[in-house]
Structure 1
Amino acid sequence: MQLALLPVLAPLREFRRDDVHSPVLDEFMGGLGVGYSYGPPFGQRLVTWADLQRMELPRRMLRRQAAHNLDARLGAVGVHGQPPALMLTFEGIASTLLLAESLWAGLERSVPGELVVGVPARDVVIVTGSHSPPGLAKIRRAVDRIFFAGDRHLLSRKLLVRRRGIWEPFAAAQARTPEAAF
């Protein structure tokens, strides 16, 4: 079995940056970073600075290889549920899908308003539209339940919105109604 590398979202607060045995992390947003996981299975072990030296792989190439591998595996994405909220699955690291540009371009047309996601844990992504009050409520409840129950790989209580191809924190006051857009 050949080892592959994929990007994986991880909370920045959990890792020290001054240790060669700590994971290589690139800042993503809102306290989240992008690490790089060996696999399959993915998400169990992140590439460390020592690994990077041993592989003689420049950090830029690590990013490029992981992004290429992610794009090549997008056929394994599962979309489950019915509107107003959908759940995505992907090899136990669904949150990684936030980094898959082509996936979101396709999903943007299937939700009312802007794409809004909850990523409470590494393996959970829930999607709705900013113009769907029932969808937003469903995502918030799911995020709260996951944090209440606990999870080995908790990520964020914040909802994210995709604007102009970039993820940013979402606030209910930012929800734009179709009338407000004119």
Structure 2
Amino acid sequence: MKRFLASLIFTLGLSSIATAAPLSADQFTKVFAKELKKAQPAINLTVKGDLLLIIKDPDGKETTTFLNNAYSQYLLDPTAVDEILKKYITSFVEATGKSAPLERTRIVPIIKDRNWIAEIKESVKQRGSKQAPENVYEDFNEELVILYAEDTPTNITYFAPKSLDEIGISRKQLRTLSVANLTRLIPKPQVDAGPLVSMITVGGNYEASLLLFDDLWTNLSKANGEIVVAVPARDLLMFTGSRNQQGLTKLRELATKYAKESPYHLTDKLFVYRNGHFARFE
């Protein structure tokens, strides 16, 4: 596998696809499909629409692959197309090559906008696929859900309910288990305090998931009232106090901006930490 990945990286590095004008969603999908087919000649690959691939492996297992995140990242820097293709195709190859059971110590929680679930199902329906991919998730609040994934050294992969059954983990265990795993896997949260808005960082992938860390929020100062947070993207977590009117104004402004601009956008809504739970802040 390592030899193949090295070859793939070399191949993609040679075939520069950068153009003066950004690729359309249709063009990007076709380029991605072509490079993925080069990387895995044995798969049966069908382009079902813009940013949607249906992939069937030699054993007949069918996978629905969405390219939305890859394309959003590409649009931010079209000159990095080779690097982006390399990253996502390598990730796909490693994920599909995985045959070992789900690793319980690597199960992590990922905060998603509730609309993400609906959009995935609707997108599959509109583009002609018979069945949406199965994921394991639960409600977090009226706007957000917790999606469960396996975090390996090279991938973050969503899994189906049957993967839990295979290793004997119940849905009731998931949140506690995944938060404990994530606590171990990520750096210690760093709080960068500001007069209006403060930020918490943990390396760039799991900032939004820190909403699940109750100890973090109960230990923060409440001098300016209740804690109000924004998670406009998976890697952005900002907060202020409910009595800090200038801070609230700034927080709304930042949430609106980054929910539109980030390739891993979530929501522009604000949430208040109250009675051990994050609820919509009006």
TM-score > 0.5 by shorter chain: yes
Deviates more, 1:26-35 or 1:52-61: 52-61
AA matched with 1:153: Y
Which of residues 161, 172, 179 in structure 1 aligns to 2:272?
A: 161
* Match in the other structure for 2:45: none
* Cα distance in 1, alignment partners of residues 116 and 146 from structure 2: 13
* Cα distance in 2, alignment partners of residues 137 and 58 from structure 1: 42
* Cα distance in 1, alignment partners of residues 225 and 153 from structure 2: 35
* Match in the other structure for 1:141: 253
Deviations 1:23-56, CA, capped at 9 Å, x for gaps: 1110011231111121146983223223223333
* Match in the other structure for 1:32: 144
Which of residues 208, 212, 217 in structure 2 aligns to 1:99?
A: 212
Query: 1:89 and 1:111, CA in 2 relative to 1: closer, same or farther beyond 3 A?
Result: farther
Deviates more, 1:6-15 or 1:70-79: 70-79
Deviates more, 1:3-12 or 1:111-120: 3-12
* Cα distance in 2, alignment partners of residues 76 and 70 from structure 1: 11
Q: Would you say the 8 A contact 1:21–1:49 is kept in 2? A: no
The answer as to 2:102 corresponding to 1:9 is no
- Return the offset for 1:104: 0.2
* Cα distance in 2, alignment partners of residues 56 and 20 from structure 1: 24
Deviations 1:131-153, CA, capped at 9 Å, x for gaps: 1112111211111111232x232
Query: 1:42 and 1:64, CA in 2 relative to 1: closer, same or farther beyond 3 A?
Result: farther
Q: Gaps spanning 5+ residues in structure 1: where? A: 172-182
* Match in the other structure for 2:15: none
* Match in the other structure for 1:176: none
TM-score, normalization: structure 2?
Answer: 0.53
Which structure has more helix as a fraction of its residues? 2
* Cα distance in 1, alignment partners of residues 183 and 252 from structure 2: 29
Q: Would you say the 8 A contact 1:20–1:48 is kept in 2? A: no
* Cα distance in 2, alignment partners of residues 99 and 36 from structure 1: 13
Query: 1:72 and 1:143, CA in 2 relative to 1: closer, same or farther beyond 3 A?
Result: same
Which of residues 130, 154, 160 in structure 1 aligns to 2:242?
A: 130
Query: 1:44 and 1:153, CA in 2 relative to 1: closer, same or farther beyond 3 A?
Result: farther
AA matched with 1:14: W
Aligned positions of 1:43-58 closer than 5 A: 44-58=156-170
Deviations 1:73-109, CA, capped at 9 Å, x for gaps: 57521212422211111241111011111000111x2
Secondary structure of 1:126 counterpart: strand
TM-score, normalization: structure 1?
Answer: 0.79
Secondary structure of 2:150 counterpart: strand
* Match in the other structure for 1:87: 199
Query: 1:20 and 1:145, CA in 2 relative to 1: closer, same or farther beyond 3 A?
Result: closer
Higher-Rg structure is 2
Secondary structure of 1:131 counterpart: coil
* Match in the other structure for 2:281: 170
Deviates more, 1:52-61 or 1:160-169: 52-61
* Match in the other structure for 2:47: none
